[in-house]
């Protein structure tokens, strides 16, 4: 029995959830998201709670149960509150700026890196060294943050590069004379 999967997902006020076959649709203040549930699981919507149960006790159904429940929970939380990720830029001359619907990054390369912002994602650059990414889809917010960080990951000697705000860089000692 899944410890996570057995708990129902409460639907908060302001969120409308519709179930059509194996497709779950949630609408809220932050947008609309859809999720297709795996065929091995049954999803029911009763009294403002979404319950995920396996149809048959198979290995695949048990392995998917907790994950699908978590995806449903992220779907409901995303349309209600949204998800955020913060990135910091460390290093002399490294900076970010918004350029229309694109993120312009000066990362010490011979050229500027232009990152197109996907639909459903909002990026704010309050300071040239701080990037805030927000959106309703947790997976998309994480992917965008990882893509931006991947442009210039932090190096271990001086810590130059793009890092998550909550990330700690393990620093290495430089050369000794």
83-164: what CATH class? Answer: alpha beta
pLDDT in tens, 84-100: 999 999 989 999 999 99
Domain segments of the chain: what residues?
9-80, 83-164
Among the listed residues 113, 94, 103, 95, the one whose alpha carbon sits nearest the alpha carbon of residue 151: 113
| CATH topology assigned to domain 9-80 | Outer Surface Protein A; domain 3 (3.90.930)
Answer whether 9-80 and 83-164 agree in fold. Answer: yes
The predicted-structure confidence for 19-60, as pLDDT tens digits, reads as follows 898 899 999 999 899 999 999 899 998 888 999 999 898 899
The pLDDT assigned to 46 comes to: 87
Q: Which long-range contacts (CB under 8 A, 24 or more apart) does 17-22 make?
A: 17/45, 17/50, 17/76, 19/43, 19/44, 19/45
Phi, psi torsion values for 124, nearest 5 degrees: -120, 135
Query: Is the entire prediction scored with pTM above 0.85?
Result: yes
What is the 8-class DSSP label of residue 15? -
């Amino acid at each position: 029995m899944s410890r996570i999967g057995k708990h129902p997902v409460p639907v908060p006020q302001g969120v409308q959830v519709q179930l059509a076959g194996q497709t779950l649709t949630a609408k809220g203040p932050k947008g609309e998201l859809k999720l297709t549930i795996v065929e091995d699981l049954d999803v029911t919507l009763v009294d403002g709670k979404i319950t995920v149960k396996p149809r048959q006790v198979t290995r695949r159904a048990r392995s998917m149960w907790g994950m699908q429940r978590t995806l449903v929970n992220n779907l409901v939380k995303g349309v209600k509150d949204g998800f955020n990720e913060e990135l910091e830029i460390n290093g002399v001359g490294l900076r970010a700026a918004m350029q229309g619907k694109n993120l312009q990054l000066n990362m010490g390369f011979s050229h500027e890196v232009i990152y197109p912002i996907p639909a459903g994602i909002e990026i704010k650059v309050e300071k040239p060294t701080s990037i805030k990414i927000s959106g309703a889809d947790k997976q998309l917010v994480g992917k965008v943050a990882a893509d931006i960080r991947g442009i210039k990951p932090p190096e271990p000697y001086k810590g130059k590069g793009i890092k998550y705000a909550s990330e700690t860089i393990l620093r290495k000692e430089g050369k000794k004379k």
